[in-house]
Structure 1
Amino acid sequence: MNQDRSTPTFVPQRIVSGGQTGVDRAGLEAALALGIEHGGWCPKGRLSEDGSIPSRYELQEMDSPEYPPRTEQNVVDSDATLILYEGKLKGGTLLTQRLAKRHNRDCLCVKIDPKNLDRLREWLAQTRPSVLNVAGPRDSSQPKIEARALEFLLQAFAT
């Protein structure tokens, strides 16, 4: 990682996600840790793979209990989408990328790796999203990805 960053750190005003375990929650936890406004849309009943999404996350419920509608609404309501992953894009993560393209939203797919921090910082500085949608795999498909994604985000937003 380059400690002498030529690109100043850009931090969005708001981070949104769908509240699923994994990368979604890492985005919300990063916002809470850094004092950034957070929110987003989640399925009816605050549905997630581990039960109900914790109430500390300020998410609005969709009318549908399905995941795709909230995924699309979070893409539409954001200036840009950041997809963090390890391995191949699939399922809801791949859907998020396709929806960002369909709705003409900036989207960066980046592997969680310290070598990619500068790439993420440069993209944030260039796109300057006020509202950033953070998405990626859930914990059941990539065990412990939430912790790795949270650490990556905290490093990316460090000033």
Structure 2
Amino acid sequence: MASGILRRNFIPVIEKLVSGGQTGADIAALDVALRHKFPHGGWCPKGRKSEAGPIPDRYRLQETPSASYLQRTEWNARHTDGTVIFTLAAKLTGGSLRTAEFARKHGKPLIHLSRSGGPYNSAEQLQGFVDEHGIRVLNVAGSRDSKEPELYSWVIQILEDAFFWSENHPGALGGPGEG
């Protein structure tokens, strides 16, 4: 794959998007799945807890026995084939850092994408990660709205460009970056 050019004919091997339902990156992934009628799910804390209040029932999430965010984070990392962590900042902190630790603990591949890589470069990196590791069930994690309020829209852009380009651009001759 040429650098900086998305494969517009990329057919994702992923079969499901998973997240924990927190505001920000998590909800962005679930909203993309709903928009495209794509399978989704994941674990969320008991009581469907998020910083914005209870997670709406339209998201097909299962509650963990505990209200702990950490249990949800670990279970999503453990029960998927790999994890993508989205942040605007270049360095992982807080729950995003814990997600990476849980993925490593359970021997799962992970990729951290920060906005400093640019939108199309990040989508291309995500496509390569999914291909390289044969990801079928992808855990999507990252910062919450209170920490990085602009992350939600960026995550939507990356997931749409990486996995749903042809649906969003019917009849397009080339992907982003192509002349």
**What TM bracket, shorter-length normalisation?**
over 0.9
After TM superposition, the score normalised by the length of structure 2 is: 0.83
**Which shows bigger deviation, 148-157 or 44-53?**
148-157
Judging by fraction of residues, say which structure has more strand: 1
- Identify the residue that residue 134 of structure 1 maps to in structure 2: 140
The equivalent residue for 1:146 is 152
- Who is 1:2 aligned against? 5
- In the aligned structure 1, how far is the partner of 2:58 from the partner of 2:36? 15
Q: What does residue 31 of structure 2 align with?
A: 29
Query: Between Structure 1 and Structure 2, whose CA radius of gyration is higher?
Result: 2
Measured in 1, the distance between the counterparts of 2:37 and 2:102 equals: 28
Unaligned residue ranges in structure 2 (runs of 5+): 167-179
Deviation at 1:56, TM superposition (A): 0.6
Distance 2:37 2:9 in 1: 22
Larger displacement relative to structure 2 (6-15 or 39-48): 6-15
Corresponding residue pairs, total: 158
1:117 alignment partner AA: A
Structure 1 unaligned blocks of 5 or more = none
AA aligned opposite 2:67? P
Kindly report the root-mean-square deviation, in angstroms, between the aligned alpha carbons of the 2 structures. Answer: 1.6
**Aligned position for 1:40:** 42
Deviates more, 1:127-136 or 1:116-125: 116-125
- Which of 124, 130, 143 is the aligned partner of 1:124? 130
- Equivalent in the alignment of 2:75: 73
Q: TM-score normalized by structure 1?
A: 0.93
User: What's the % identity of the aligned pairs?
Assistant: 41
Give the Cα separation in 2 of the matches to 1:147 and 1:33.
14
Cα displacement string for residues 81-129 of structure 1 (whole angstroms, at most 9, x for unaligned residues): 1111111211110000010001000101111321322121111111121
